[in-house]
Amino acid sequence: MPVSVLVLFCSDQAVSGCYKSAVQVRVHFYSYFKDLAGLAEVTESVAPGSRLEDFLQKLFLRFPKLAAMKKSALVAVGIDYQAGDYVLAEGDEVSLFPPVQGG
């Protein structure tokens, strides 16, 4: 687990309390998003109650090459397509799918 990420979001609260309440989310990148992100998957810690939209904003800051595609990505949690107001829960699997055009 990347501790540095935890510290980032914990900076304004007691670290010990934060460890208990942090929500772990696994992120999967598909197709050429893997190339843009430089990896296929990553685990992130988010504050409880975080909305998908806000989480994605942070993710795009971490993976700036993906940021250009933020309005064109299909985002799913588990096997369901989700809108930005979805509240992330412990163990959620977030998948980012790019549009492809080939035929």
Partner 1 sequence: MQLNNDEIRRYSRHLILPEVGLAGQKKICSTSVVCIGAGGLGSPIAMYLAAAGIGKIGLVDFDTVDFSNLQRQIIHGTPDVGHPKTESAKATIQRINPNVEVVLHNTRISSENAMEILAPYDIVVDGTDNFPTRYLTNDACVLLKKPNVYGSIFRFEGQASVFAPHLNGPCYRCLYPEPPPPGMVPSCAEGGVLGVLPGIIGTIQATEILKLALGLGSSLVGRLLLFSALDMKFRELRLRPDPQCPLCGENPTVTKLIDYEMFCGITPPPAVPASNPDEVSVQEMKKALDNPALGIRVIDVREPDEHQIAHVKGVPLFPLSTLPRQFTELEPNQQIYIHCKSGVRSMRALHFLREQGFKYLKSVKGGIGAWSDEIDHNVPKY
Q: Which of 68, 90, 91, 93 binds partner 1 (CB under 8 A)?
A: 68
Give the C-alpha separation, 21 to 27, whole Å.
Answer: 19
Note whether 99 binds partner 1 by CB under 8 A.
yes
Give the C-alpha separation, 18 to 35, whole Å.
Answer: 32
Tell me 71's DSSP state: G
Note whether 20 binds partner 1 by CB under 8 A.
no
Note whether 76 binds partner 1 by CB under 8 A.
yes
CB of 56 to partner 1, least distance (A): 14
Q: Are 46 and 1 in contact (CB under 8 A)?
A: no
Q: Which residues bind partner 1 (CB under 8 A)?
A: 30-32, 68-69, 71-72, 74, 76, 79-81, 83, 95, 97-103
